[in-house]
Structure 1
Amino acid sequence: MEHEEEKLEQHQAADGQSNQDFSMTVIPTDALACLSSSSQETILRLAAHAWDPPDLSAFPKSRLAAVLILLYEEFGELRVLLTTRSKALRTHAGQTALPGGRADESDIDVVQTALREAHEEVALPLSSPHIHTVATLEPFISLHRLVVTPIIALLTDPTLISTLRASQDEVSLIFSHPLEAILDPSILLKETLAAAGTEDWIYETELHSTTDSVVAALGDATYRMHRFRSTASPVKGLTADILMHVAEVAFGRPPVYERWAEGQPRGFATYFKLLGLPQSEN
């Protein structure tokens, strides 16, 4: 494992030099050492994921957003922190979400955006020796045409989860989900899931549901909506799309179900073009 830890540190140092917008931190050796070997490999895959960052200079900061994929290990598996949004909110009320939101003018970069929003929504400490930024992944386009960048972070002290507090105005519930279950929903059978037939799982299938719809805004292309049963509200929509990508990168394999509808657009560059979003000429 010593060689893999050295590779991780080299990758993060190089990444921080080549892309100053994404201020990656080096994960200490003892932080990795507290994980199981399988979780260490998963974190290494995420840190080593290579992609070409888009030029977002044409976007006003108000159109940029970030979400935090906070991973921590419990009983040998990596779990991701999720929230159920307050039903009093104007948009996506009662839906599952990753901590995150729009960038503030004062945010230095999207990493700070994700961490600040997580602090506001669930009281995650803004500065903790147990939270290590691992990587950023390709951005996604939200329903409101925001450019949403996923920020991956590792929490090495899971007891911190019990100290989190939901923002009264924004969050009704804090919960977690096994990351690998996004690729193989059968893993959820060991969880105490939301009751079938309630508002938290209205679908006929047991663990995973999909619907294909033609979307006019995407040039009448087909979009496949995925929904995953959880211990709380369903994981669906943009949150599911982001977590499917994170899980595929993390575990280095595709899901057991068919991820894409026939002819469905893929990748942020394609969505930028289809939605007519501004792009740099460089």
Structure 2
Amino acid sequence: MFKHLFACLGLLAACLGQDPLIVLKEFNYSRLLDDDLTPQRIAALDDDRFVLLDQKTNELFVFSYNGIVHQTGGFGQGGESFSEPVDLIVHNLQIWVCDRYENAVKRFDYKLNYLGIDQIQSNEYDPFYPDLITADLFGKAHVFSRQYGQLLSMDNSIRALIDLNQYGIDGRCIIDLKTDNAGNIALLSCENEIVLFNRFGRKLSTSLVQIVDPTNIVHWTNDWIVLNSEGNIETLSGESNDVPIYENETVLDVDVQFKHLIILTDQRILVLKRS
């Protein structure tokens, strides 16, 4: 049984104020992967190819209908291995993996051929210890350190673009961050707050969400949406919805591919759209 199986669409519209999410595609990766591979992070190449990161084995792989297409990684400090991979994005037709221990971003092509490494440099902290990475449509990638509460731009990482210490915000409280089409940067905090900055690092607003134990934030269909591991969704505009997952299923990560919402659970990859 689905965890969030609705009795009727009329009740859904009355309670949630929006249509349910439709599953366009489903990939049951748990049936195709070895038991020792358990991905926790996802980045979409398109709506049927996905880059998955297993932070337990340090393996990076491209997954499609038939299973693993390309694979690299493992433990180590060489070009194709990782020490502490924490996050990844698809940016400038490349796959960027943020490695916290190496204080760097490693770049790969879509076949996971190693392209190079970019060291992260800060005029205040060395190493910077990056935890999260995001990118905007203007070609800029940013890395965030929970330890120091700062966001650096990869094209000018000497000076912090955003310093949360100036606002009395503990960087260790930041759960996730993403950018929107205008380059605005949203940070999701453990205080159930969305702190929004513009692309130049100026603070715009702070908003509260009611969702319990939020884990992810993304910008999708012209709104910021927050999710938790149970599949609950809340938008910045105040609407609620649910990811159609099973009772024993947990949401691990989320990405956006044009108008589609990409969900990684502990069993499947779901490609969703609004009805």
TM bucket, shorter chain: under 0.3
| Higher percent of residues as strand | 2
TM-score, scaled to structure 2: 0.25
Higher helix share: 1
TM-score normalized with structure 1 length: 0.25
